Structure 1
Amino acid sequence: MLTRALIVVLVILNLGVALWWLLRGEPVSEPAASPVGVAQLEVLPATQAPPAAATPLNAAPALPAVTPPAAPGAPPQATTAVADAPAPTAVASAPAPAPVAAVPAPAAAPAAVTATPTPRPAHCVSLGPFADRAAAQAAQSRAGGALRGARLREVADAGATRYRVLLPPAASREEAQATVKRIVAAGVSDYYIIAQGEETNAIALGQYRNREGADRRLAALSAAGFKATMVASGGDGSAQWWLDATLADGTDAAVARQRSGAAQQRSLECARLR
């Protein structure tokens, strides 16, 4: 019976302690004691804070007034409430402009390369034959721009069956032999020195059955620096006229012959027209 009474009492005591613990307030901490002789700052309540004035960037912030400590033994002075100085207002600076990326200049378009056409070699022709000089001049007029550098040429022995190319007779045999050495050095072959007759010490450089072959031989000798002549034989003594010229660019020899009215066209060494 006594044990039950003790248990009931302990339970009531525990409940009372727990109820007291729950209903007690937060402990209020006492303010720390301020040191003697140090002025206290009090913050006065303000109904509305004045607008902060813009403070220049280079202006130094205002320092709060500090009351010097009172001398020992002196009566305490009235504490002056100092309002907090407004904090300096940061002036928002304009953001620096972003650097402009350098735009590369457009590359210059490569210049169109124009291929220079290779000039075509000159082509020279001999048109004819014509009965007289007047007929050859008329043919030159009809050809017009198809021919360049045209020149009339008379052939004394039109009916010749042979054409000989030779250098005029030298003053002596020794001089003729010296000329032969020059001919050999120039790469010319088919030659001999005439030893008798009216053409003694002349140098024969070939005999041809047609005039075209003789003309080519004359042109090669002229290019090598030799002044050879052509002698026709076997003709009736009649004369013919030929029109020697260089074909204009893009002109065919057959077209030039048709325009001039010539019966024949022959290839001609252009060196003979210089």
Structure 2
Amino acid sequence: MLTRALIVVLVILNLGVALWWLLRGEPVSEPPASPVGVAQLEVLPPTQAPPAAATPTNNAPALQDVTPASAPAATAAPVGQPPVTPDLPPTAVAATPAPAATAPAVAPGPAAAPAVAPPAPVAPPAAPAQCVSLGPFADRATAQAAQSRAGSALRTARLREVADAGATRYRVLLPPAASREEAQATVKRIVAAGVSDYYIISQGEETHAIALGQYRNREGAERRLAALSAAGFKAKMVASGGDGSAQWWLDATLAAGTEAAAARQRSGAAQQRSLECARVR
């Protein structure tokens, strides 16, 4: 009897445990503790759905969707329900500072061109000086009177005496050397200086002299003398064929704007000859 009673009790206990196991609910887990300082989100119960749009009748034209395909579809939140903010970590909910208002960049205007001073007027080049020789005059007093009559037509002037004015030719030569060998040595120096037209006189009073040219006018002979003097030779000019009389000439630089013919008429000279201005200074 006792054994049977124990068996019945065990069966009843087993049935009770099985019934409890079947009737127990799912274990409810407690929500995790929210971080300190972060507000909790509460889900509000949904409100009443908005009424459906009225169905257009057969008489009203159907509305067409004119929204551009490229425009993203905006998701409208239900009326009366605030937008749901996702649960973000504490670092993500930090307040974002508002962008500072920046003034629109102003494009710099074109830089003002620096004032350029107009170029100074360039004076026209001065005309080269013109020099003439006026004459001939019989004596020095006559030449001086001619210079006074010319006056302002002449800028600078000097008197020049020409000895043996009636000469028909002029010779340029170096004085006779002591011997022919010395004359030949001088010729070598003349050739080295680039001087041509020379010969050694071998007879007469001018034996061993070196002739350096014969000219029909005095001006040519004087130019030859100047060239030899520049080369370092002391030559002389000898006139021949004249009566021994002398003449005076007025060598002058013309004033600006004065013609040679006008200066000759004012001075009363019979002739005018072109002259190198270097001989007037």
How does the TM-score come out when normalised to structure 1? 0.55
Q: CA RMSD in A?
A: 3.5
Matched, 1:162 2:162: no
Aligned-partner SS, 2:135: strand
Partner Cα separation in structure 2 for residue 246 and residue 174 of structure 1: 46
Cα deviation, residue 263, structure 1? 0.5
Counterpart position of 1:188:
195
Matches within 5 A, 1:90-239: 104-115=111-122, 117-239=124-246
Q: Is the 8 A contact 1:171 1:201 kept in 2?
A: yes
Change (3 A) 1:112 1:100: same
Aligned-partner SS, 1:178: helix
Aligned-partner SS, 1:220: helix
Partner Cα separation in structure 2 for residue 204 and residue 182 of structure 1: 14
Change (3 A) 1:134 1:168: same
Counterpart position of 2:79:
none
Cα deviation, residue 130, structure 1? 0.2
Identity %: 83
Change (3 A) 1:119 1:108: same
Matches within 5 A, 1:72-87: none
Partner Cα separation in structure 1 for residue 189 and residue 129 of structure 2: 29
Partner Cα separation in structure 2 for residue 204 and residue 237 of structure 1: 22
Amino acid at match of 2:131: C
Aligned-partner SS, 1:226: coil
Change (3 A) 1:261 1:221: farther
Partner Cα separation in structure 1 for residue 258 and residue 228 of structure 2: 28
Partner Cα separation in structure 1 for residue 196 and residue 269 of structure 2: 35
Amino acid at match of 1:163: Y
Partner Cα separation in structure 2 for residue 193 and residue 99 of structure 1: 96
Please, which runs of 5 or more residues in structure 1 have no aligned partner? 1-95
Cα deviation, residue 260, structure 1? 1.6
Please, which runs of 5 or more residues in structure 2 have no aligned partner? 1-102
Change (3 A) 1:165 1:114: farther
Aligned-partner SS, 1:160: coil
Aligned-partner SS, 1:201: coil
How does the TM-score come out when normalised to structure 2? 0.54
Counterpart position of 2:21:
none
Cα deviation, residue 264, structure 1? 0.7
Change (3 A) 1:172 1:248: farther
Q: Is the 8 A contact 1:128 1:262 kept in 2?
A: yes
Q: Work out which of the residue numbers 249, 259, 280 in structure 2 matches 1:252.
A: 259
Q: Is the 8 A contact 1:150 1:245 kept in 2?
A: yes
Aligned-partner SS, 2:165: coil
Partner Cα separation in structure 1 for residue 116 and residue 243 of structure 2: 73
Task: Extract structure 1 runs of 4+ deviating beyond 6 A.
Answer: 98-103
